[in-house]
Every structure is written in C-alpha cells, then in structure tokens.
Structure 1
Amino acid sequence: MMHTADGHHRSDLGRRVATRRRQLGLSREEVAVRSGSSPGYIAYVEERLPAPGIEFLVRLANALETTVQDLTGLTAELAPGEGPAGSRPRLEAVDEKECWALLGDHGVGRVAVEAADGLEVFPVNYRVLDGKVLFVTTSTSALGLAAAAGAEIAFEEDHLDEAFRQGWSVLLVGPVHTVSEPIESQILRDAAHSQSWAGDGRDTAVLLLPHRVTGRRILVPGAPGTADGSDGQET
C-alpha cells in the first residue's frame, strides 16, 4: 500500500501533477485511464521522486490538459499568456453574479491605486465578505493611504488556461476605507482566511465597496467550458 509522502519528499513535478489534477476535478483513477497508466503509478508520480520518460510525460500532460513544459516547470517563471490565441476564440461578458462566483471567497488579485508618484498596480491577498472585498495591509502602504482618504481604486482578478488559450477576468471599482474600530478590525483580520504572501506586519483592515462589477471571458470552441464544442458558426 502506498502512503502519502511528507511534503519535502515530493518532487516539484509531483506537486504540479497533483495541483493540476485537482484543478480539473479528476481522480487518480481517471488520470490513469486518460494516460494509459495505473492509479498506483499516478500516486507514485505525485508522492515520490520519479523520473518518468518523455513518452509518459506527453501522455500525462495530455491527460491533464496542459503541456510538458508546464508540468516540468520550464514555464514557471515566465509571464502567462505567451502562447498563440486559440482557434476561433470568442469574447463574452460575465454578469455580476458570476463575477462574484469566479472570485470565490479568497485569493490573490491586483489593485490599482493612485499614489503620490502616480498610478501603482500590485498584487494583494483578498477575502470576499458579503459583497465587499477585504484586504489586510499596512497603514503606510499605497492601499492603506488610499483607504484613509476614502479614495476610489480598481481591483482585478483573472485566470488563464494556458493549455486551451482561454480564461476570464473580473474587475471591481469603488471606494476603499479603513476599518478603524478596533474590535471590528480584529474580527475582519481574523476572517482574512490566510496570511499575506508578503509576510507579517500587516494590521490594517481595508474594505472595498464596489459600485461597478464587470467581467469577461475568452472561450475557445471545443475546449472545456464550451457548451457543445462549437461557437454556433458554420465551419
């Protein structure tokens, strides 16, 4: 029986395979069928330090709807979206309800803030709370200063499916304010779900109250997310 290895025993390849499999909602058995392998070997790839041959890597990448380069980390430090556009892509608007669903309850997005030296755009951890977006920052950051002044900002989150050249983006625009009441601020900071990726020392709770929520999606006929594999046009 194969036991789950400790995190430091797993390879980068194994972590990428496991993450991609979970993103697609697939079991090891399903990946095994897709790749012509066995569930035990998929578990071995995810949990140990394998060195599979290129033929299996190609089959595994196809099974996981990605590329060998992505699985092996060759594109890890590259900017996303370098591949060519998909075949006959179409751009669709995303309604407000789906925008909130795409944001989920937390993640990492980007804010655009008018700072002293001009416009600044930077990544932030966020948490969605009842139609508002919570950020935890420092009082002296560009976002903290904007919130103290009640300024308007833009917040954006997106997702790219490199394998199929499709994706979505959500944009929220509205004023931000600092939560100054100590008990409420602590409650909100405790609700932030996870610590900031940038580290400790962030103790200022900032709320975005969006008055504009918009989104758009790029779909490629025949790719996951399309209803019937066609765009409704004659080929």
Structure 2
Amino acid sequence: MTSHDTGPGPVQDPDYSDLGRRVATRRRQLGLSRAEVAARAAAATGYLQYVEEHSATPSIGFLLRLADALDTTVAELIGGTAELPPGFGQAGHHPELLELSTAECRERLSSHGVGRVAVTVEGAPAVFPVNYTVVGDLVGYRTAPGSGPAAAAGHEAALEVDHIDSAFSQGWSVLVIGPAHVVTDLDESRTLEEHAYTAPWVGGGRQQWIVIRPTRITGRRIRVQASPV
C-alpha cells in the first residue's frame, strides 16, 4: 500500500476537486458510505474522505481499486469521458427493457436535476436543457422571457429526464407531457423558488418560471443482468 493509501495528510479546509466530486457523487448514487467504499478499495476511510474533499493525487493502483469499488471506470472518475455524450459504451449482455410505473416515474423525476424540454420555435422543433424542479404535481424551470425554453408557455410541452450509466450500459428515461404556462402568481413563484434544487447553470437573468402540469408520465428502464438493481 502506498503512502497515498494510508493517510489523509495535513488537515485543511475542504478544497473539492473534480475527482473528489465525481467520487462522492458516484458513491451517493450507489447508496454507499465512505467506510463501505474504503473497505472495497482496501484503503483507509480517512484517505477516501481526503480524496473527496481535497485536491488529492492518488496512485493509479488506488484509482483502479476505487473505480472497481464504485462499479465504474478510472476514465469516468478522472473526467476522461466528460466531453463525450453519455452512452458511449457497448450494449450490455442480456439487456431488459422495462416499463416504469407512474409511481416509479415520479420517484425518478422528483430527484430533480437537468432535463430537456421540447418546444416549437419559429415553426421548427427544438430541444433545450433546463434545470427543473418538482413541486407537488408541477414540473417547473426558470428561463429568460423570449428564450427558447420560454416558447413552451401556452402550448402542450414535453420534458424528458434520464440517467445513463455507461459503466453498465444501463439507464432510465422519464417523459412528461402536459400544458405549460408562465407563473404569474406570486405565491406559486415563491413556492417554486423555495423548492428549487439549483439555480440555472447558465447564470442569472433567468427569473421567469415556466410550469408544466403533467397529463401523461411514462418511462422506461434498461436493466442488464448481473448488474446492481
């Protein structure tokens, strides 16, 4: 075991690196504690915490064990696939295509995140990524008046959310369809602001809330045999 595997080094304030964020995110996706991942990777829990919270430079041996412990690849952890579209891996063995129930769709949808809204702009179809929020039966996102995503208001709109696990060639997608409108009620706008998981990634100037009231929610999931459920 190298010196990188045995201790966290000097105590510092958290200085999260891209590697640390990816490790922590993947660990949470799998529902694992630091102690569980550290045990799988044959490392000290304190060092795993250091990797997650500081600009660490782990050895390749540790990265290989950590990637195996997190059911992913070293390339994924270090961001080597960040510029590639999701789903670049090969199809898994014996994949199953499963329909998600309405309850399962809502559960995945309510995790919040980034979705894609489909609208019509100048007579042509267009798709835009948006940071969305779920409040009760409503799905909302902030945008700028006159922008592409704002074109959904006053029309039937579709919003798609998905998660792709390239390490296992599996994932899921949920499609929401329903009428969209601009939020003008101050109480409704305040409620959406309070429940917003994140501000729009593209920055400020996007304070107009567009809300979709779902009339249909459907979803599918690809599951590969012998992979985590």
TM-score, normalized by the shorter chain, greater than 0.5:
yes
Structure 1 residue runs of 5 or longer lacking an equivalent are 226-235
Tell me which residue corresponds to 2:107.
101
**Overall identity of the aligned pairs, in %:** 51
Counterpart pick for 1:143 among 126, 149, 156: 149
Tell me which residue corresponds to 1:6.
13
CA RMSD of aligned residues (A): 2.0
Instruction: Report if the CA contact (8 A) 2:142-2:206 is conserved.
Output: yes
Tell me which residue corresponds to 1:88.
94
- Give yes or no for the alignment of 1:33 onto 2:39: yes
- Give yes or no for the alignment of 1:224 onto 2:221: no
- Give yes or no for the alignment of 1:124 onto 2:122: no
Tell me which residue corresponds to 2:81.
75
Tell me which residue corresponds to 2:206.
202
Shift of 1:5: 4.2
Q: Call closer, same or farther: CA 1:90–1:27 in 2, change over 3 Å.
A: same
- Give yes or no for the alignment of 1:165 onto 2:169: yes
Partner Cα separation in structure 1 for residue 37 and residue 68 of structure 2: 10
SS in 1 for 2:104: helix
Q: Deviations over 1:37-92 (max 9, x none)?
A: 22122223223333222222111100011001011111111111001011100100
Instruction: Report if the CA contact (8 A) 2:120-2:151 is conserved.
Output: no
Shift of 1:179: 2.1
Partner Cα separation in structure 2 for residue 106 and residue 19 of structure 1: 14
Instruction: Report if the CA contact (8 A) 1:86-1:166 is conserved.
Output: yes
Instruction: Report if the CA contact (8 A) 1:109-1:155 is conserved.
Output: yes
Partner Cα separation in structure 1 for residue 203 and residue 110 of structure 2: 22
Counterpart pick for 1:176 among 165, 173, 180: 180
TM-score, scaled relative to structure 2: 0.88
- Of the structure 1 ranges 38-47 and 123-132, higher mean CA displacement relative to structure 2 is found in 38-47
Partner Cα separation in structure 1 for residue 65 and residue 111 of structure 2: 34
Partner Cα separation in structure 1 for residue 61 and residue 114 of structure 2: 35
Instruction: Report if the CA contact (8 A) 2:95-2:224 is conserved.
Output: yes
Partner Cα separation in structure 1 for residue 27 and residue 195 of structure 2: 29
1:6 partner amino acid: D
TM-score, scaled relative to structure 1: 0.86
Tell me which residue corresponds to 2:4.
none
SS in 2 for 1:91: strand
- Give yes or no for the alignment of 1:63 onto 2:66: no
Instruction: Report if the CA contact (8 A) 1:132-1:210 is conserved.
Output: yes
Partner Cα separation in structure 2 for residue 186 and residue 49 of structure 1: 38
Tell me which residue corresponds to 1:212.
216
Shift of 1:187: 4.1
Q: Call closer, same or farther: CA 1:220–1:211 in 2, change over 3 Å.
A: same
Instruction: Report if the CA contact (8 A) 2:133-2:197 is conserved.
Output: yes
